[in-house]
Chains A and B, each alone.
Chain A
Amino acid sequence: MKNLRRFFLKLSRLFTNGREEAELAREIAAHLELLEDDYLRQGLAPEEARKAARRAYGGVEQSKQLHRNERSFQSLAQTVQDTRHTLRQLRKSPGFTLTAILMLALGIGATTAIFSIVAGVLLRPLPLPEPDRVVILGDTLEGSGCEMCAHPRVNAADIQNYMRDTHSFTHLGGYRGASYDLATTGVPRAVHAIRMSGDVFPALGVAPLFGRTFTQAEDEQQQSVVVLSYSLWQSHYQGSTNIVGSTLLLDRKPYVIIGVMPRNFEFPLVPGHVDRSELWVPLRLQPEEFLAGQAASWTFRMVGRLKPGVTPEQAQSDAERVAQATVRDYPAFMRSLRIHAAVKLLQEDTVEQARPLVRTLFFAVIVILLIACANLAALLLVRSIRRRREIAVRLALGARAATLLRQAVVESMVLSFAGGFVGLALAAAALRLGISLLPETLPRIHEIGLNWPVMAFALGLALLTGLLCGLAPAFAAIHTNVNPTLKESGRTGTTGSGHARLRSVLVAAEIAIALVLLTASGLLLRSFEKMRAVDVGFRPDHTLTALYELPQYRYATQARVDAFDEQVLRNLRQLPGVEAVGIISSLPSAGDYSGPAISIEGHVPAKGAGLNLAVASLLRGDPIQALGIRLLRGRTFTEADKDGSQLVALVNDKLAQRYWPGQDPIGKRFRRGMAETKTPWMTVVGEVDSVKMGSPDERTADQFYQPVGQTAVSEGDFATAGELNADYGYILLRTRMEPEQMQNSLSAAVHAIDPQLPLYHIQSMEHAIAGSEAPRRFNTILISCFALVAVLLSVLGIYSIIAFSVALREQEMALRMALGCQRSGVLALILTSGVKLAAVGCVFGLLGAVAAARLLRTFLFAVSPFDPVVLTLAAGAMLLLALAASALPARRASRTDPMLALRGE
């Protein structure tokens, strides 16, 4: 208790040192006077009395020091004193202080903001117990070009087989996304839902907020129960806890609410803000999901928890055994398919795609921080040179090197912590603004934020930069040679060559680092430009699109679906200004590459040649005309191409060239499925331009188009009884007006038929393309911003160094001019010194850029990482900027008054 009290007092006295000192001095003086009075009374002479008093008291300074040691923590007190000293000094040079703090704030702020993304997306373990035991189990399909390698998927039969026959998992279950009409009041709203096995909840190991989750038994008994997400619970039930046991309607069918998941529960962990799952229902596999086409479509995923002691590799070989047994039981029409089991950590599966981007960003900000550090070190170095005489005097008076060192480090620490705090504020602001701008390809966006680990990171960064930046100038300072420095008159001398070399190295390094970033940004900008120049294969202008999905409970038969579709087309054709109207099953630029395997007439696939996959689009109306896809040969579909007439198809030129190189594809035949699948032939009636199904910088796929009415027949073995076609699709509308003006007319036309049908993604095709380009635009803008900051910082660095050395050499310059050197000569002298530094920096920078190219390669599109134009331009720009930065001080030097040399001293 007494010690605790004393500890806090000792701490607080650190900050009231001045008052304590005064009090002590006063007390000692009073004490001495009393002593003196007594001696006077004893009859001593005044002078004698004073001496005697001093003797009796002992050493005043020693006593004071003992008092100080007793009252407060001395080493700390020294630091506090140094800090005060530093603050005073910094207040005296606000320009330097502001520059240094802002520079560091920029560096630390940017690094912290990006680190918070790294931490949220990549580093933070999934919010599940023992996340390193939770894995994704799926198939990879042989011959599909590793289409499913990144995200292994399964089909309905796999779910049953894997759950029954594997032994490596404590819990294992399948899931897939689904969309339902959620009816509470008014217009039904479509919700994102997940159908999943009862075993998925225990595999994830997350308990509900309240209520319970469903079990595997309930799933198998086809129970209609539902678990709500926190957000749905809040938005629809205002967080009321007595909803357990009540029912809600999904697609008009009642489901009993049995529980609510906690707020941070997210499954599956999909990238981006939208498409988060709002509720979970049992998987309830239906018989038709095991049949025909659905048996051969890998649309489910599986998640499981490994048994203790089982490695993912062991689990994979366990699952592989089951997979091979599954293959042996394949029905005749998919006999040639070969699958392999794949097991990967859920964490991997989640962050895999985001990793290169996040990693690159992190490297970019580290570079910024390095430049800021180099700048600060250079500035501090310059300051320490300016204070050389002061330091020399202090050394001569016996100051210890350790004291000077501590002071230098304290100075840079004060700066870096100030910079750190300002940087943290900057990062907070950037995150608040920036999270909404993050591309939708990043998972776990909601976990990004300034939390404790991130703040600790920022302050750690400040500490590190403070130490690093402070030590170099500090060591330079204590190596000050006392005698010559004191002898120097103070202004004339050029500084020690060691300092100059250190400064030059710092500046050259800055330029080199900045150049690496500048090159990266140049390469990305060029990639972006190349992407914009890509021919997407259709005309996106003046086209409006919207997605609809007909709920099965209201559109149960193909006739109903067809009636709806035809009515939509009729209504839209009557709108004023409409040029073409159509419905297509897969929208270009939306990123949907899925499609069936196809067999070509006359082509016998070589053993192990793999599957011939193609993207299939089903058409109704005139979507080819609405999208403005160029017809290269033959014709498009007409009203006559319907169910019952000859099966026809359009192919894109990519597919045509692959299978009929150099021939006219019109009249050639191909069919859906593998060689052993019984499907009818389709005849090619036209060839169209290849369309980019995803972003313009992605690959072009083999494509074919079919009239929607012929789909069921063409699917042969794959077709399932009661299967619906065109129960969803993208409406396309080409108009003479701005597409945005048509949005309301389009909605009205659809709602005139079905007022309850929600429409999604109503947008112009230009907007859709912009969306697909967004990730690249984001990368490019971000890296370019970083490059800009880096270049600015390094130009600032080179400017301050040159300006300072000019100021130091003012007398030398005056002397040169007095001796007859021309102004242009002085100008050239200074410019050369700047450009020399820049040139050395550029050489190393180019080497660095070549080394960094490997990291960048995945982000480039149609541009070599060694693109000579970009490299030359970047290096040239850097040199020019360096020249400009040294021009200002050079001009100042050339204006030096020669009289200065004579008047000086």
Chain B
Amino acid sequence: MPSKDKESIQLLQGTLDLIVLRTLATMGSQHAYQIATRLQQISDSLLNLNQGTLYPALVRLEQYGWIRGTWGKTENNREAKYYEITKAGLKALGAETQKWRTLAALVERVLLEES
């Protein structure tokens, strides 16, 4: 979804998965709306994405077996599907984090050398 805001950034392929996993790991089980809200908070609204775009990532992670969704009630007694991270998900989060750090460090190093 292209955004009108010039300041906003596009997510890199696969980073959304990492962010969702990380969110679920730190915040416990969350429904899609909570995840979306959380995303907006931590990105200071820089990451301006439609909340619907979260769904493909959720189904993908669920099919990997990294997260599990169950129906529950919100504090306002609304029904919502809560997602929680699985053991496999935690393990994957570790690996993915490591990968991301390596990549980020590499990019950082390249950028430093260029300047």
Question: Which residues in A have some Cβ–Cβ distance to B below 8 Å?
Answer: 2, 5-6, 9-10, 24, 26-28, 30-31, 33-35, 37, 56-60, 62-63, 66-67, 69-71
Contact = CB atoms under 8 A, between A and B. Distances in A.
B100 interface: no
B22 to A, nearest CB: 18
Contacts of B115: none
B102 interface: no
B108 to A, nearest CB: 28
B63 A31 contact: no
23 contacts: A2-B88, A6-B60, A6-B64, A24-B55, A27-B32, A27-B81, A28-B52, A30-B31, A30-B80, A31-B31, A31-B51, A34-B33, A34-B78, A34-B80, A37-B78, A57-B52, A58-B1, A58-B51, A59-B50, A63-B50, A66-B52, A67-B55, A71-B59
B13 interface: no
B78 A5 contact: no
Contacts of A35: 33, 51
B56 A5 contact: no
Interface in B29-68: 31-33, 50-53, 55-56, 59-60, 63-66
Contacts of A66: 52-53, 55-56
Nearest to B57: A70
Interface string B58-101: 01100111100000001010111100000010001000000000
Contact of B52 (A30, A62, A69): A62
Nearest to B49: A58
A37 B78 CA distance: 10
Contacts of A28: 52, 55
Given A35-B33, A67-B59, A2 B52 contact: no
Most buried by A among B32, B33, B53, B88: B33
A70 B52 CA distance: 13
A307 B76 CA distance: 90
B31 A58 contact: no
Contacts of B51: 31, 35, 56-58
A30 B78 contact: yes
A612 to B, nearest CB: 87
B80 A31 contact: yes
Given A5-B65, A10-B63, A34-B78, A63 B33 contact: no
Given A35-B33, A58-B50, A63 B81 contact: no
B65 A30 contact: no
Contacts of A31: 31-33, 51, 80
Majority secondary structure of chain B interface residues (helix, strand, loop or mixed)? helix
Contacts of A34: 31, 33, 74, 78, 80
A69 B56 CA distance: 8
Contacts of A70: 55-56, 59-60
Contacts of A57: 50-52
Contacts of A62: 52
A67 B56 contact: yes
A58 B63 CA distance: 24
B52 A63 contact: yes
Interface of B: 1, 31-33, 50-53, 55-56, 59-60, 63-66, 74, 76, 78-81, 88, 92
Contacts of B64: 2, 5-6
Nearest to B92: A2
B50 to A, nearest CB: 3
Contacts of A69: 56
Given A5-B65, A30-B79, A30-B81, A63 B55 contact: yes
A35 to B, nearest CB: 6
A27 B76 CA distance: 16
| Best-surrounded residue of A57, A60, A69 (most CB of chain B within 10 A) | A57
Nearest to A56: B51
Contacts of B53: 58, 63, 66
A56 B80 CA distance: 17
Nearest to B37: A38
A615 B100 CA distance: 96
A27 B78 CA distance: 11
Contacts of B56: 66-67, 69-70
A66 B80 CA distance: 20
A638 B109 CA distance: 122
Nearest to A65: B56
B27 to A, nearest CB: 16
B98 to A, nearest CB: 16
Contacts of A5: 63-65
A784 to B, nearest CB: 60
Contacts of B31: 30-31, 34
Given A31-B51, A34-B74, 8 more contacts: A2-B88, A31-B31, A35-B33, A58-B50, A58-B52, A63-B52, A63-B55, A66-B56
Contacts of B33: 31, 34-35
Contacts of A67: 55-56, 59
A33 B59 CA distance: 21
A2 B78 contact: no
B64 to A, nearest CB: 4
Contacts of B88: 2
A20 to B, nearest CB: 9
A33 B78 contact: yes
A632 to B, nearest CB: 94
A647 B66 CA distance: 104
A690 to B, nearest CB: 84
B4 to A, nearest CB: 12
A9 B64 CA distance: 9
A38 to B, nearest CB: 8
B63 A9 contact: yes
A9 B63 CA distance: 7
A60 B63 contact: no
Nearest to A63: B52
B47 to A, nearest CB: 14
B63 to A, nearest CB: 4
A254 to B, nearest CB: 72
Contact of A60 (B52, B74, B79): B52
A24 B54 CA distance: 12
Contacts of B92: 2
A34 B79 CA distance: 9
A58 B81 CA distance: 19
A56 B32 CA distance: 13
Contacts of B1: 58
Contacts of A24: 55
A450 to B, nearest CB: 39
A63 B59 CA distance: 12
Contacts of A6: 60, 63-64
Contacts of B81: 26-27, 30
A25 to B, nearest CB: 12
